[in-house]
Structure 1
């Protein structure tokens, strides 16, 4: 029988208040609080906390504070990643952020979902779908990336977009819902 953690990571329905999940969230929030309290010149401390907080962190990853992170362990970041102020990531299942990715302020990444059925939702049931952000991507300020989305390599997402569907490589997309406006290659 799968644990709630195994179900969550697999994208299956799980009980959000499972004690193991609650404990992981507490530990993650403690690391997030410590990260958010670092001084601007404490680059080494911030880098060490990033490696504790996330499942995998490449070289030259810079994350401005404050951040909010649900689990952290389910997020993999490549190298040369810059994440600006007020980043929120609900990583109930896998989030992959490629190399050479720029994420502007106030970007939110959500893998988490809840049932539409009211009775199921009242039971604190959740499920999730992975998100993949390719290499050489720029995500503009205030964007929201929804569950199950893949953003291809070389994509620019315009500010304020709500990304509800996959965005193919080498394109410029924006809007709510986000749509491809221009192919680059």
Structure 2
């Protein structure tokens, strides 16, 4: 299974610092920066996210790992400085309001020495 499919799977993905797919994140960083400059441009959000409708409003300061793993099921408002670490699929329902400075983190790291050495 290639890395992008692994990240999109329901099994989850644990990134090791030395194996982090930075090339997948480069496009995402540029899209987030473009969104900060033009937050009303819905085309940027359509390109960034896996699923997104015109009723998704995101204030500047939004950051995510990949974007393609974030899916909106309808109307959503996200306030300033939201971070979504989408190393696994994230589904945000209809009628959701997310406050300022919220982090949604699927990412994690091992807390036991034996976990750090696993592939």
TM-score range, shorter chain: 0.7 to 0.9
Task: Tell me which residue corresponds to 2:35.
Answer: 35
Contact kept in structure 2, 1:66 and 1:85, CA below 8 Å: yes
Give the TM-score of the pair, scaled to structure 2: 0.83
Give the aligned length.
117
Larger radius of gyration: 1
Asked if 1:88 corresponds to 2:83, the answer is yes
Q: In structure 2, list runs of 5 or more residues that go unmatched.
A: none
Where is the helix percentage greater, Structure 1 or Structure 2? Answer: 2
Asked if 1:48 corresponds to 2:69, the answer is no
The verdict on how the C-alpha distance between 1:54 and 1:12 changes in structure 2, with shifts beyond 3 A counting, is closer
Give the TM-score of the pair, scaled to structure 1: 0.56
Where is the strand percentage greater, Structure 1 or Structure 2? Answer: 1
Q: 1:122 Cα shift? A: 6.9
Task: Tell me which residue corresponds to 1:173.
Answer: none
RMSD over aligned Cα, in angstroms?
2.3
Question: Quick one: higher RCO (CA 8 Å, sep 6+), 1 or 2?
Answer: 2
Q: 1:14 Cα shift? A: 5.0
Q: In structure 1, list runs of 5 or more residues that go unmatched.
A: 126-185
